Structure 1
Amino acid sequence: SVERAKALNNSIVNIILKDLRPISIVEGKGFREFVELVEPGNQLPSRTFFYPNVEKKYLVTMQHIKAELKTPEKIALASDIWTSLATDAHMSVTAHFITDWQLKNINLATKPLSERHTGENIVTFIEQVLEKYELEPSCICALVCDNGANMIAAARKLKEKYSWARIRCVGHTIQLIVNSALKVTTIGRTMGVARCLVEHFHRSEAASTVLKTKQQQMAVPQHSLKQDSTRWNSTLHKVTRLLEQRWPVTAVLSDLTMSAKRHRHLDLQSKVKQLLEPFEVATTYLSGEKYVSLSTVPSLINALIKEMQPDAEDLPSTANFKTVALEQINNHWPDDILQLQLGIQNLICKNSTSATLSTTLSRMEVTELSQPKPIHKNAGSGTGSRQSSGQEESPASASIKQTVIDKMFSFEESSSEDSDKEQLSCVQKEVMQYFSEKPSNRDTDPLTNQERFPHLSKLARDFLAIPATSIPSEHLFSVAGAIASRKRASLTPQRVDMLMMILHS
């Protein structure tokens, strides 16, 4: 029947989109035989029939996304750049917001960058994406991107133009810290030997064949030593794999007269693994997309600082790694900024990982952070404030209070002094009530029951939606790579964007 044929064709469109199959699959001999078995006598249309159906689904998805983006007051963006197998550069943009106290992530674009990857061209690209979805720049609160010079330049221009906050991808920053610490002389040599071992087994068919035999004899998983070097924590994964395959590898290399020096390097790799594991835990947690992540950054950074504290039993190479790591952490997250972020975190997202404020932030100071801008002129008279303790407030901290806290609360200036005092009293009571409650369990979603705190919820809706990393954009590249594979290298960038839009929205 006509209805049955229509339903079958719609199902084939879903197979093409969900399973990342090329439209040419409908002309494959095996696929047509399968359809004939399922629906005898059905005349399957050619590929030209399915193109309009895919485009129609794209337009319907686009309208749905536009309607959904009109709901939140503030939206955070995450962005990154990727080059496909066809050497086409793509830039992805994802939107993050909170609706009905539910965290939402939407793919806005995975489009080609035909021009040079300069900061100005990236700004133009992002503005075109906003125009495409009829979004006003004023509704964007932050841009999350990596530490690339072009992305930093673009973020700086967008901040000057639209006052967007620039959030450094914490995962990328942690990788920069790890890379710097791995350059310690002894550890650097160890990793150099590890790379040589992996390349030896990857390039030598004879060594690879003997390794498989040894793996079977020793009942060790037959895993390849080769790892994706572009992934975060790739060094840890490489070391973990080598330690897993240590005895089969040693047996093979012993036949090739492996030196004792290399044996010592393999011993040191277990120490390297222990040093790198805390960083992987941090980046893995911060890369989650289904839960709030940015508010956990200060706690995780403080945890890394504790893990990197020198120990009397450390080897010289281990102590050097920790020293460099601590220096890099302090360079990327100065103590005063970290403490202020910790105060904001506790204010918004109270759970067992961030239940108490740092000793440098008293309750009055946290209340001061939450006050609207017109009231800051009287903040110094309060007990526990930085002014009353004789400490000078850092310019960076003052700037953050004015441009983040005050702006996010969005209080309108009032000509009535009584109205200001009443509003301040309301905020103070709400903050003190918040901190007087028992901290929630670690697994508790911080987005629940926020409506009980109407003033804090305004800050929470803007702040908690911001992802800690640009992983949401980078995840799109994995799917885009499957779509723009070698067998589909002729797929136009516009169609890649269309398929990504349907699949990830």
Structure 2
Amino acid sequence: MQHFLEVAFDGSYRGPCTKTVRSTMKQMYLTYREDLRKVMSKINHVALTADMWSNSRRQSFICVTAHIMTNTYENIPVLIGFRRFKGRHTGESIRNYIDYELKRSGIESHRIISITTDGASNFESAMGTFQFGYHFKCASHNLNLVVSKGVCLWKRPNPNTFPFTNDENFNDNDVQFDSEEEISDTYSDSEEEQDDVSNDQVTPSTSPSENSSSTTIISEDEFSSDEELDDEECDTGDIEGGVLDEKVFHILLNNLQVLQKTRKLIAFIRNHQVTRDYVNQRKPGQVPYGNIILDMKIRWNSTQIMLERFLNHRNVIQAIVASPDRFKNSLTKKCQTKLKKLSFTHDEWDLLQIISSVLGPFHLATEMLSGQTYPTLSTAYYTIKGLQTFLWKEDDELELARDIKRSLQAQFKYYFNVNRSIEQKQLTLAAAFLDPTMYKEMSENDIIDAKKIIMKLMREKANIVSMSMPVQQSKTTTNQTSKEGAKEKFAKLCGISTTTTSSTYDRRLSLNEELCHYVQAIADAKQFNTFWIENDFKLPNLANIVRQICAIPATSISSETAFSLSGYLCRKQRTSLGSKSIRHSMILKYRPWLDKLIQHMDPKNN
């Protein structure tokens, strides 16, 4: 770049030196932190996400994001902390660091609704005190674990962790809603700390060593080589007990063997110029996802993408392995023999097709949960119910597909029933009820249970003043169209039907009347934020609950996205970047979100 500037400007241009750039970035970073503190101190309800990541140099980073729902009912994610994490990754260290970032950002603990993380044991320990509100397990991490273990994408199945019983009925409604147990908040406070305190100072390592959290990043086309931990390595939960179904166990073993064979063939084709050119020149027209790729353990959905592209290239791949001697001028005899051994039988192609079709709904579910500006907690309800329908439905599928689904059922029960807290199940139900686009998909029993939860919350919060931002009746845009399109496609894949539900109004309503009016008013509602902008004044108690519950992210995708960007910053061409420069760069990258939040809070813009 320096040489280009010298040539382009005839040697007259001199760029800023490294010291100047660092100084400017630091000043911009400090300005960001000052603005962040001013804004966050005025907000009543905040939901958090947190995650950890290791780059290719094995340096660990931790990220914390805050999520706020404005009075125009738009979710805004704000990065409040991103820094190198030194020392042991204990629960106490993580808890102390998050507490440190919250205090320097002006976020008081009683304002925090929840925190969403993966299921690593260190995060479990860190959130065990409810200091940061309710602990939500990331739905996308759990989906990835269900698929990885249920299909055996990467590891040989363990007979002790793959039980299958005759109980085919999945029941997610084992929570008692009539009990006196209330959804209450527990919080604590501590002192403000300085900006440049190192992690070792902030997080004393006094508790026993715990497993580190991991990071997975959603990406279709960018498959980097960052040496991150995968979900299975950080996951500490296993299904115990049960009766092993030998038939399904051997099917899972076969799944792994065929997938390993697929990866070997793809790697061979990609690593040899002659086979790579042959595929590129003869690939079928209008291939939806481009060239063949290899999947990665740390990339959600990458196996489904790999299989879909591999199957799209079936004819050309069969031609390669059937006649490897066509490459005799470019490949050695040994390579030709190896290629011949990687040929696939008809049954193996059928198995890959079945695995790809089974993974399809999980892929789309993850995409639906990956939004940052629309409510994802209500979407989580829909995707969980949709996948339940998909896995348990009886149709004319091949017996092999049914057996693979049985394996997925066992993992699904664990990660979305046993492994989720009562509070997470209850608030997910409430979020779906309060989202007009999802209410119409709820069962009658779920609606009854959701009403009980919401009535309890409304009574507790009836006297709490809602977030101090004026209602903005105009200047509203939304990206919900793509969400709705994905929802319809997801319903079709899972084989579930969609439904619809009339309205009129005037005067201040009681809590019960608000609920009744809401149910009547959502008949024609097509978008979440449009409906609530129009009904905010009519349903003040419900609106207050909406701004709290629907701000909760179902996934830690905001932290994952930050790590994806930081991974690009830390690529081998820029390995000289220090941890402070990475922190400043990441914080400033998210400056537009903070500016958007400031704009929402400025009375001049309303």
TM-score by length of 2: 0.65
Please state whether the residue corresponding to 1:360 is helix, strand or coil: helix
Q: Does structure 1 retain, via aligned residues, the 8 Å contact 2:140–2:369?
A: yes
Structure 1 counterpart of 2:382, from 299, 311, 316: 299
Q: Does structure 1 retain, via aligned residues, the 8 Å contact 2:51–2:118?
A: yes
Q: Does structure 2 retain, via aligned residues, the 8 Å contact 1:201–1:207?
A: no
Task: Give the distance between the partners of 2:269 and 2:381, measured in 1 at CA.
Answer: 46
Please state whether the residue corresponding to 2:42 is helix, strand or coil: coil
Task: Give the distance between the partners of 1:480 and 1:218, measured in 2 at CA.
Answer: 34
Matches within 5 A, 1:215-364: 215-219=280-284, 223-255=291-323, 256-258=339-341, 262-334=345-417, 340=426, 343-351=429-437, 353-355=438-440, 357-360=442-445
Please state whether the residue corresponding to 1:257 is helix, strand or coil: helix
Asked if residue 31 in structure 1 is aligned to residue 5 in structure 2, the reply is: yes
Would you say how many aligned residue pairs link Structure 1 and Structure 2? 429
Please state whether the residue corresponding to 1:333 is helix, strand or coil: helix
> 2:168 matched to which residue of 1?
none
Matches within 5 A, 1:69-218: 69-101=40-72, 102-157=74-129, 159=130, 162=131, 164-183=133-152, 184=248, 185-203=250-268, 207=272, 209-218=274-283
Q: Does structure 1 retain, via aligned residues, the 8 Å contact 2:269–2:275?
A: no
Q: Does structure 1 retain, via aligned residues, the 8 Å contact 2:292–2:306?
A: no
Give per-residue Cα distances to partners, 1:305-361, cap 9 Å, x unaligned.
Answer: 11112435332321122223233333333499698556513542122x322653325
- Cα root mean square deviation, aligned: 3.0
Q: What runs of 5+ residues in structure 2 fail to find an aligned partner?
A: 153-247, 324-338, 466-507, 592-606
- CA pair 294-475 structure 1, distance change in 2 beyond 3 A: same
Give per-residue Cα distances to partners, 1:447-484, cap 9 Å, x unaligned.
Answer: 43333211011111111111110011000111101112
- CA pair 127-104 structure 1, distance change in 2 beyond 3 A: same
How far does residue 253 in structure 1 lie from its aligned partner after superposition?
1.3
Task: Give the distance between the partners of 1:334 and 1:186, measured in 2 at CA.
Answer: 25
Task: Give the distance between the partners of 2:17 and 2:395, measured in 1 at CA.
Answer: 72
How far does residue 407 in structure 1 lie from its aligned partner after superposition?
5.1
Give per-residue Cα distances to partners, 1:194-215, cap 9 Å, x unaligned.
Answer: 3333234425777552242144
> 2:582 matched to which residue of 1?
496
- CA pair 343-470 structure 1, distance change in 2 beyond 3 A: closer
TM-score by length of 1: 0.77
Please state whether the residue corresponding to 1:314 is helix, strand or coil: coil
Q: Does structure 1 retain, via aligned residues, the 8 Å contact 2:37–2:106?
A: yes
Task: Give the distance between the partners of 1:218 and 1:284, measured in 2 at CA.
Answer: 27
Which of the pair has more CA radius of gyration?
1
% identical equivalent positions: 20
Q: What runs of 5+ residues in structure 1 fail to find an aligned partner?
A: 1-24, 373-403, 413-423
> 1:65 matched to which residue of 2?
36
Deviates more, 1:354-363 or 1:61-70: 354-363
Task: Give the distance between the partners of 2:411 and 2:66, measured in 1 at CA.
Answer: 30
Q: Does structure 1 retain, via aligned residues, the 8 Å contact 2:436–2:528?
A: no
- CA pair 297-442 structure 1, distance change in 2 beyond 3 A: farther
Task: Give the distance between the partners of 2:447 and 2:75, measured in 1 at CA.
Answer: 31
- CA pair 177-321 structure 1, distance change in 2 beyond 3 A: same
Matches within 5 A, 1:421-460: 426-445=510-529, 447-449=532-534, 450-460=536-546
- CA pair 72-268 structure 1, distance change in 2 beyond 3 A: same
Task: Give the distance between the partners of 1:347 and 1:193, measured in 2 at CA.
Answer: 43
> 1:483 matched to which residue of 2?
569
Task: Give the distance between the partners of 1:79 and 1:163, measured in 2 at CA.
Answer: 11
Deviates more, 1:480-489 or 1:312-321: 312-321
| Residue identity in the other structure for 1:465 | A
Q: Does structure 1 retain, via aligned residues, the 8 Å contact 2:40–2:106?
A: no
| Residue identity in the other structure for 1:293 | T
Task: Give the distance between the partners of 1:119 and 1:360, measured in 2 at CA.
Answer: 38
